[in-house]
Homo-oligomer: A and B are copies of this chain.
Amino acid sequence: MAQTFPIPMVDSPEQPAPSDALARLYAGFEAEYLIPLWTEIGGLMPAQPRSAARPHVWRWSNLVALADQAGALVPVGRGGERRAIALANPALGGRPFATPTLWAAIQYLMPGEDAPEHRHTQHAFRFVVEGDGVWTVVERDPVPMRRGDFLPQAGWNWHAHHNATSRPMAWIDGLDIPFQYLTESQFFEFGRPEISDAERVTPERSRAERLWGHPGLTPIGVQTGTGSPLLAYRWVHTDAALRDQLELEREGYPGVVEPGHAVVRFTNPATGGDVLPTIRAEMHRIAKGSETAPVREVGSSVVQVFDGGGRVTVGDQTWSVSRGDMFVVPSWTNWSAVSEASASDSDSGALDLFRFSDTPIFDALNLSRSQKG
């Protein structure tokens, strides 16, 4: 796979007239490892973000089929670490980057398999669109993973996964690998060769949830670090929160972000802020027949259809989507969605979209902008 990282060079400012002297000057620049601004400014300093990435959709059926084949062919172990297969944006030069800052992958674990323990500064989460049977073990706390669950795991926590059942399981991983790669800030360490028997138990709830999963209630006997101490956000809560917003709308009260469009953000209960320092995660529910207004933001996002079906428009692309499909929204690119339930969809007919983005980076640096409509 090629290693190039293509750059949009759109504007071409007027250049000085060619001459021997200019050619000598430019040769002098090259010899001294110098590049003038006036030949590069169009690409480097555009009027607004022009993403190197492009809108693209990946179909869940294809992702699962390939992951399933990998399950048969590729072992999981120390070194390779994870059977994770990353979305590689077609415009990002063959790098395993969904967007210039975000990694998105399908991960797959066979019956009885373990993914070995390690830790890294990259912030991560798992999200489960279907299936169950895997426990992710974070700082020795086994956390069950089931359909609809969002499982954040802030950087530098030890973690492993084990499949305790007789069925394979797939889920998606989101990380800030490209961001930390490009800014060269990442650290990584291998953990113990095997997790202990005590970590192979399969509790219904993690210890993290028992401490942090009660609304508005903070345990004062434990410390917190960077990122959310709550290791699982269960579907039962997310679903109820979205349903409540749409019911409030029907009753005439505030709650939704726009007509027929409910959103909850996964947040760190210890701070009320984003669940991870570099990643925002949200669940959107678009009521049957509703359509969201186009919106664009600084920064990129990746979206997975959790339930229902509909049409999604990103920039100049429009796709019909259904459960599990994933697509990317490049920086400063409009996106919108319309819910179009088919017979096979959920009872409510709503379109549920799980979305994650790099917005906390821009919020922290006062670089965020967004524009609606």
Residue numbers of A with Cβ under 8 A of B are 1, 3-7, 13-16, 19, 21-22, 24-25, 28-30, 32-38, 40-41, 44-53, 56, 58, 62-63, 66, 69-70, 72-75, 79-90, 93-96, 100-101, 105, 120-122, 155, 177, 179-189, 207, 210-222, 226, 228, 230, 233, 237-238, 240-241, 244-245, 247-248, 253-258, 262-273, 275, 277-278, 282, 298-300, 330-332, 358, 360-362, 364-367, 369
Contacts and interface: CB of A to CB of B under 8 A. Distances in A.
Nearest to A223: B254
A269 B30 contact: no
A32 B3 contact: no
Nearest to A233: B216
A321 to B, nearest CB: 16
23 contacts: A16-B75, A28-B69, A34-B66, A34-B87, A35-B85, A36-B83, A36-B86, A37-B81, A37-B96, A44-B177, A44-B181, A45-B188, A101-B183, A210-B248, A210-B255, A213-B215, A214-B215, A214-B238, A217-B266, A219-B264, A221-B256, A272-B272, A364-B364
A52 B184 contact: yes
How many copies of this chain sit in the oligomeric assembly? 4
Given A35-B86, A58-B33, A331 B47 contact: no
Contacts of A184: 49-53, 100, 298-300, 330-332
Given A216-B237, A217-B267, A220-B263, 16 more contacts: A4-B5, A16-B74, A25-B73, A33-B90, A34-B85, A35-B95, A38-B83, A38-B84, A41-B79, A46-B186, A121-B367, A183-B362, A184-B299, A185-B331, A215-B215, A220-B264
Q: Which 3 A-B pairs have the closest CB atoms?
A: A13-B79, A38-B80, A35-B96
Nearest to A211: B255
Nearest to A70: B25
A79 B14 contact: yes
Contact of A366 (B182, B277, B300): B277
B33 A88 contact: yes
